[in-house]
Amino acid sequence: MAEGNTADDIGYDPFDLEVMSNPFPYYRLLRERQPVYYTPQYDTYWLSRFADIEDMLQNRGNALVSTESSIPMPEVLRQHHRGKPAWASLDPLSPMTLLHSPYYEDIRRAHAQPFTPKGVAELEEFARETTRALLDEHLPRGEFDLFLDYGGRLSALLTCRLFDIDPGEAGDILETVNATTAYDPERGGIDNSQLFARMKRFMLPSIARRRAAGADGSAPLFDGLIQLRLRDSGRALTDDEISDELTCAFIANTETPGKVAAQGLLELSRRPQQLAEIREDLPANVTTATEEMLRLCAPAQWFMRTVHEDCEIAGVQMQAGQRVAGLICCANRDEREFDDAEEFIWNRRLRKQLAFGMGRNHCLGLHIARLQIRVLVEEFLRRVDDYSFDLERAVLRPSYFHYAYSSLPVRVSQQGIP
């Protein structure tokens, strides 16, 4: 057994169905007993404590890169490297999340503008108008799905706006993205073999239109990538490559904010006193509560890096070719970093948390995610006086990297005045 484990092995395996169904007891044991846990079958170290993951996520040049994906399938991890692994392909260009420096930074900068604070601020009016329209549609029914009909729907419509897609496709987009977290019992993880192909059919027509229109910079999500010329080769990206570079943003924006908002409203329904305190000043207090929702309710469980240069992390020497993963959901519950770490406290003073990662690979969509969560929660609480959930009908399906309700029916017994 490699350094980092003890004889009292807790048997953690992120691809095990029992772990996927309820990872939190394992997380507590990992933080307490085996903070650097080695799985020989995957040649991977799993970090569970906040400080260790913070160390891992700091910029290390190209020592740690997600060349095998940040959430690889178990079949990938069972293939062990002999020494330093190869870089991800530059021709054709691999998706941004797999690339090493400086190519990763080039791609990121080329489409970052819509996700800056200024770019996101321009979306707030659209987000609020859309959210209010969704409440107008669903509140009279007395019961609806807080993710599928409300939070996820807003995110899908924002994705349509960002990616210049007919809003009539929002339902199909949400269903397609939601399916990416489905557990594949035969392969042990998510069947993502057709993931990029599924997303391309939504994006390729928009990319082609921008290219034909001249990509003058007025649609920066696409135009920066169309205008980009790769260093070394000087070649332009194809439409297929541009679609691949945007798939991460496409999925994350559609899936994550609505699930955090839904789970956050569920947590508040279990704590009437906290809910009453938030209602005293919705705009200010929901902004504060959003951070606690992200800490405890963000669905991503972990992200992995492949070791490209021998290095030491959390006191363990790791060799090129091995892998190291940060259990960010676990670390956001680390008692060493947070008082009453597993308790939801809406006005907790948070210095930092790991829902968006950290360092050069921090999530590009952090500002747009915060906007959506804040608007969804604030507008819901402004219109709804009392609500409850039908958890017997809710869907919380197993996933090796994702833990969140994909369906959460809510009953609204009283409605406020719009």
Lookup: tokens for 169: 């496709």
Whether 99 has a pLDDT exceeding 70, the answer reads: yes
* Residue pLDDT, tens place only, 28-78: 999 999 999 999 999 999 999 999 999 999 867 899 999 999 999 999 999
CA separation for the pair 208, 297 (Å, rounded): 37
Determine the pLDDT at residue 91: 97
User: Given pLDDT bands bounded at 50, 70 and 90, which one contains residue 400?
Assistant: confident
* Residue pLDDT, tens place only, 319-343: 999 999 999 999 999 999 999 999 9
Determine the pLDDT at residue 193: 57
Whether 1 has a pLDDT exceeding 60, the answer reads: no
User: Given pLDDT bands bounded at 50, 70 and 90, which one contains residue 369?
Assistant: very high
Determine the pLDDT at residue 58: 84
What backbone phi and psi angles, to 5 degrees, belong to 306?
Answer: -95, 135
Determine the pLDDT at residue 417: 55
Query: H-helix or E-strand containing 150?
Result: none
Architecture of domain 17-88+124-186+257-415: Orthogonal Bundle (1.10)
Determine the pLDDT at residue 182: 67
Looking at the DSSP assignment, which residues form a beta bridge with residue 412? 387
What backbone phi and psi angles, to 5 degrees, belong to 305?
Answer: -130, 145
* Residue pLDDT, tens place only, 231-273: 999 999 999 999 999 999 999 999 999 999 999 999 999 999 9
**Torsion sign over Cα 334, 337, 339, 345:** negative
Whether 160 has a pLDDT exceeding 90, the answer reads: yes
Determine the pLDDT at residue 397: 83
What residues have CB less than 8 Å from 413, skipping those under 6 apart?
A: 142, 385, 386, 387, 388
Return the number of other C-beta atoms located less than 10 Å from residue 121's C-beta. 11
Domain boundaries, the chain: 17-88+124-186+257-415
Lowest mean pLDDT among 85-89, 157-161, 274-278, 395-399: 395-399
Mean pLDDT over residues 167-193, rounded?
Answer: 77
CA separation for the pair 65, 306 (Å, rounded): 5
CA separation for the pair 262, 127 (Å, rounded): 16
CB 255 within 8 A of CB 177: yes
CA separation for the pair 103, 109 (Å, rounded): 10
CA separation for the pair 105, 92 (Å, rounded): 17
User: Given pLDDT bands bounded at 50, 70 and 90, which one contains residue 398?
Assistant: confident
Mean pLDDT over residues 193-203, rounded?
Answer: 81
Mean pLDDT over residues 370-391, rounded?
Answer: 97
Q: Match 């913070």 to its residue by tokens.
A: 54
Which has the closest alpha carbon to 71: 333, 321, 253, 328? 328
Q: What is the mean pLDDT of the chain?
A: 93
Determine the pLDDT at residue 2: 45
Amino acid at 251: I
Which has the closest alpha carbon to 54: 353, 294, 373, 396? 353
Whether 14 has a pLDDT exceeding 70, the answer reads: yes
